[in-house]
Structure 1
Amino acid sequence: MRNWYSARDLAGLPGVPGTVQGVNYRAKREGWECQLRLGLGGGQEYAFAVLPKETQAALIAASVASSTPIAPVEQHVISTGRDTKKASHLNDSQYAVMTARLTIVREIERMSQVVSQNRAILTLIALAQSGDLSPYLAERVVLANDRKTEDRSLSERTLKRWLADFRAHGEIGLAPARRKQDMSVPAWAAEFLKHYQRPQKPSVEAAYEQFKQIHTEVHSSVCPSIHAVRRWLKKLSPEVRERGRMGPHELKALQAYNSRKADMLWPNDVWVADGHTFDAEVINPLTGQIFRPEITMIIDWGTRRIVGFSVNLAESTLATLDTLRDGVSRCGMYKMFYVDNGSGFDNAVVYEVNDRLGGTITHSLPYNSQARGVIERPHKTILVRLAKTFDSYIGADMDKEASTKIHKLSRKQLALGLAPTVVPEFSVFFADLQQALDDYNRRPHRGLPKFRDPLTLRKRHQSPMEAWKSAEAEGWEPLLADADIVESLTRPQVERTVRRCLVQWNSNSYYLKDLDGLHGEEVRVAYDFRDSSRVWVHTMDGELIGEALLDGNASPAMPATMLEKASEKRERGQLSRLVKKAKTITGQDVEMRVIPATSSNYELPPEQLAEAQRFAQLAAPKAQTFEIPADPIGKYRLWKQLDSRVKGGELLSPEEAQWHDRWPKHSDYSSMQRMFAHAEQARA
């Protein structure tokens, strides 16, 4: 929508003459408000507000019919005053309806900049009824109605209610109410369980026949069908359902447990994104087969810094969302997201996520990859260069004979059940990829300004990280996105079966106490290759259950205090046996005394003592540098140590104080805080 239109733009529209001369003559006769037109051709432009009503309606309809998702008018913050549940706790159906309604609300807000809100609503309703909406908006209307009937048009009352809910509660106010499962216990349940929960483990059919016979004789009410009985049994957790069919010992196989381990281990203005199929073969961590991973990267155009990346099987929507989540969580919120027209970027899911984050997405022209050379070039300087370091490189410049030999050897070893020696494991590839991206961010870039290196005193180009730090030194600060929205962005997922509060992924076990009632059921496990210490468990409907931790149910085989007491007892016994042996040899009572290692039977002269103290000071270890652990659990424990030192009145070093103040703003801090709080409640 524009506020000024030329006579050429208006000619032929409803309510105005069909020629440019006719439009100018009528505008002069009626005294339309006008201004000089800028650019080639000159002439005059007429204000939208003075045009006839039918002309205004035609201009609005043309704008809405060609509308695409753009940046929102203002950023709304989710308010939990109405519903304490976060957007990440919505299932897939609620999430789709909420985002569809949000898109329609955003469209009304954009139209309200030119016309009144009521007129914008009426225009949108008329276009929906006549079928003149853009395909994107037409799909959102169907989703937003949340009905199974064929009539899914808009109404003025409904749109005004959505606007009021959005302004009062944010996007969560647009989510439909959750339909909760009926968990009430029927009157016949106890009687049926008497026949079903028996150690003979009768089938549902056998137990139902006995229950039906007695129920018909004793009660005059209608007996429930076997299908109703089966539906009710499915609502029960495995432990409750099998109680009585299993003894207390056997029933423990369905309950959570603690594993015993003998070792105690201690375990941060335009974005351009694109995907690239890696030019070397890698072992798939999920299937063990050979594949070529798809790497999606996002580069910051201003500083040339790689701000986010993901590894997936193909350039899919999940890969785009995972890359966005990685970039937004580590580097802050973007303003414009510049991508191509691939299926991984040009889809409704990415548009919805962009609307939630409050950014603007724009696409390059088809078959015009040169427009995104800022991301195409790093594919060669980073990914192709990295692929050539592996024996499994299969690029166009690879020798065909050598490539054939490697291909046959790897397939032969795989068929024999051996690990291919010429194809790297995924962990090796992923570590090398991270190192290559870090090296790129710290290497001088020809596209960045030159400065004088303080070490060599020579001029050179800035590196991407130096350009980023330079902007921060000038007063720029990243705008952090809402942690709840970032947390709800979709990660790559796999389906897994719950076994005693454990889920398996990548040959590791992850524990979550909230899975207690889901033993044997299928769940969706979201993972992050950058952080193998945890996974995110969702129901099959998409609702987040919680974070499962790696070996979260592990505990020490024996407490440290018991081991210390056992060691002291053993020492006393050995000393007692030595005394008895000495008494047997000498025939006399013997006293044995332990001399501490720090004691000395002689004293040094003052000169030698001073010289020894001087050498001791020279040999004393220097103060350790402040190191930040790589994993979130270690970071949280380090922060708690620093926080206790601050509360005790101790002064921190500048590096410790800076990190202590900044890390609580990261999304990992809130996740770790909730996790440790749940663990303390479970122990209590």
Structure 2
Amino acid sequence: MSTGPYFSASELASLRISGIPASKGKIIARAEREGWVFVEETGRGGTRRKYMLPPNLQGALATRVARDALPVATESAKPLRSPLPLNDRQKVAQAARKGVLVALDRLMQVSGISREAAMITLLTQAKLGQLDAQLEPMLRSARDERGRKGDGFPSVRTLKRWLAQEKSGDLAPKIVQADYDVPAWAKVFLAFYQLPQKPSVELAYREFEKAYRMRAHAWPFPTIHQVRRFLGKLGKVSREVGRMGPRELKNIRPFIRRTFDQLQPNDVWSADGHTFDAEVQHPMHGRPFRPEITTIIDIATRMAVGFSVGLAESSLAVLEAISHAAMNRGAPAIFYVDNGSGYDNQLLKREGTGLKGLLGFEVTHSLPYNSQAKGVIERSHQTIWIQGAKLLPSFIGASMDREAKLAQFKVTRKAIKHGGALPLMSWDSFVQFCTERVDEYNNKPHRSLPQIADPVTGKRRHMSPLEAYESHRATGWEPLQLTDTEAQNVFRPRVERTVSRGEIALFNNRYFSGLLEEFHGEQVHVAFDIHDAQRVWVHHMDGRFICTAEFGANERHYMPMSFVEQAREKRADARLKRLDVHREEIEAERRGAPALSVETPDVLTIPGFGQIARAALDARVVDVQAVDVTPEPQPAIAAPTATVIEMPQTEDQRYARWQSIDQLIFNGGTPDAEALKFHELYAGSKEFAARKRRDEEAGELQLAGHR
């Protein structure tokens, strides 16, 4: 063998490298075909070429050389066992075969017969049922199930094979190993199977067969049974790629389980909104609706530290939930939420004025569509609100019986239409119900918390969130509570505004204070109460308090509207607009109006000729004689005399009239003003264009030559 990087064709053939032909001639042909690098050496036999393997074969060469470097096993050494571990069936059969061979040795020693005679004797006794109760099932278990059925016992030849296998150290029966080579047609078929529509194997195979059965390809066309066997060898995730989106695949892929052992209370809060799965009475009009509940969970203790109940998920609902939590349990260090509008807004995150800066916590957002990362808050919805909604007769969740849901719906809507008491929980009762649900959750053992001995029963159980919270306080931890003054300053949202002549404009209201006179044109921080629009609190940009500005007279509204009231008005306007769209759609369906209509003004004004009513374009009207123009003086402001153009009644009449006027113009005649205007207007109509196109296609347009 050459010591350099170049090898002759005979040397390469002797190495038996994977991926390289085993004959000298085929190696030379491949080297010339693929353009291998070579050098020519002159020896006793003449000149010969030595080749350098291309990069894609260097790895196979290294593997071959490393294998030659391993020590050679002696003849007496036992062969290596299969790297695959034995299954239970193989283990049982291996132990049974060892027991059978031991029984043969004992029979030979007791009876003084040869090994083959002992084998025949043992099998004969087994067939006659003369073996003991232990040896017979051992003999049946030792048999390889892949062989002939027969009487369930091995043959003499099989016993001899077991004896030879014992000497080699491998008595376990072989098992059929699945062929995991990917067939050449697999990628083509998967293009029909791995679709988001999730077609069945039969449907995907039919489409695959239609597309490729009669086409030329380098692989034999598979049967549907081969396709099924191939799919059975694929892993669950690999098989569902394409049939399931990335977000759905996350439900079957490995995940990271987060621990919270090192966290203390208020280190991380997680919040999310949930639409309640039962109807209650609206606090404004009393009609059925589903409220939006925002809950905040402390990750370390799993405690529901705060919640808010609102009409919809918004920044105000989040603000109220944080206010409720911070007043009772202190301020968090990290606020872990999704990317919803309620958590990504200026009231929460604006630098200097947002609640984030005022309380001093960080806002961290989860990845989009990554609810697994917020499993704590998602699971609390199940325990607190979904189970709570099932306690009410107005529950309308997916698990509700459809017939019962429909019956409840009919009762409530009938009460709305004809009057009467609604069988729904009132708003005040619902708020109290929510408070009780949160208290029950905080006092109930939570399986993710450590176990303790129950002080009453003495049995081991998990801590409740409240007990976990108090256990941290027992070790010396205390929440940072806000004073009443701090709470008032913090939970009044702040925005930046510019002072203009002592006034501040905020939410369509204007607030005035004489103390703002020297701040004209400057930026200030304006704090407001979301429930009271009578006054605002003005602060310098560095946080110093300036004054209180009162609601003034230069307002757009006669009465001040709070931020909450304005939000309610906007929501009501949006709902009315949606109703108007549905009403117009229903009216259009009733009238049978065309899907697309050309809107024209009610009156068409033609300079120099007067006005034409739109109805005159669709129906026959009386032609009003035009007033002759005389040189007599006219008043300074005179109403023009309208000339109504007579429109023929049918399409054929209109088209015939246009043709006659057009022929008159072509012959050098001069039509009157009304006819000339009709000729001009009708030539621009869609009806004329369609008629002209039909005549051209039929070869009947008589005036096409001079147009």
Q: TM-score over 0.5 for the alignment?
A: no
Short-chain TM bin: 0.3 to 0.5
TM-score normalised by length of structure 2: 0.32
Q: Indicate the structure whose relative CO is greater, using CA pairs within 8 Å and at least 6 residues apart.
A: 1
Kindly name which structure, 1 or 2, has the bigger radius of gyration based on alpha carbons.
2
